[in-house]
Amino acid sequence: MKIENEVLECLSSRRSIRKYKSEQIKPEELESVLQAGTYAATARGCQDPWIVAVQNPKIIERLVAMNAKVMGTSENPYYDAPTIVLVFGSDTSVWPNSLYDGALVLGNMMTAAHAIGLGSCWINREREMFATEQGRELMREFGLPEGLIGIGALSLGYADGEPRAAKPRKEGYYRIV
């Protein structure tokens, strides 16, 4: 017999959204998602990650071009979402837990987004994007400290359509020993 509650339902019903309405999300929705990210567990409680929410269309255009170049496509890797949330952390040579801490931040924000009716999708390639001179310049524009790496991003907005059903969970996904 499985325990059911609102949080567990939210975790099992969240899906990656790859089509967004052009309407910008409300400031209080963005604030709630970002705040949830700040409560993710971090190694030793160090709060290493840095979160940058981008809604400025000119900066989004730059991010799209950078990510598409790394991906080798002309498509928008952020699926035309009106908000992109970037997560950065210390270089792993400085803080070995950086990627894990940032991943937890991204996970918290995806769950929070779903809980309040927003769609999100984890986006990769930020590490490669922000290792370039163009990426480092953007990080300076964001007011971030030197020495950070890109960990990942979220496309964030109102879903344009219904998400796909969950794939069946693989046999033997977990074990109790």
Over residues 126-146, the pLDDT tens digits come to 999 999 999 999 999 999 999
Q: pLDDT band for 3, please (50, 70, 90 cuts).
A: confident
Q: How many Å apart are CA 57 and CA 54, to the nearest integer?
A: 8
Output the pLDDT for position 122: 98
Tens-digit pLDDT profile for residues 156-165 = 999 999 988 8
pTM of the model: 0.95
Compute the distance between CA of residue 108 and CA of residue 154 in angstroms, rounded to an integer: 11
Farthest-apart Cα atoms in the chain, separation: 54
pLDDT, mean of residues 2-6: 89
Q: Which pLDDT tens digit goes with each residue over 83-117?
A: 999 999 999 999 999 999 999 999 999 999 999 99
Q: What does CATH list as the number for 22-157?
A: 3.40.109.10
User: Taking all residues of the chain, what is their mean pLDDT, rounded to a whole number?
Assistant: 96
The answer to whether residue 1 scores a pLDDT higher than 90 is no
Domain boundaries, the chain: 22-157
User: Which whole-number Å values give the CA distances from 143 to 52, 70, 130, 139, in the listed order?
Assistant: 10, 24, 14, 6
Cβ-contact 59, 94 below 8 angstroms: no
Q: What is the pLDDT averaged over residues 46-57? A: 98
- Angle, in degrees to the nearest 10, between helices 27-38 and 98-115: 140
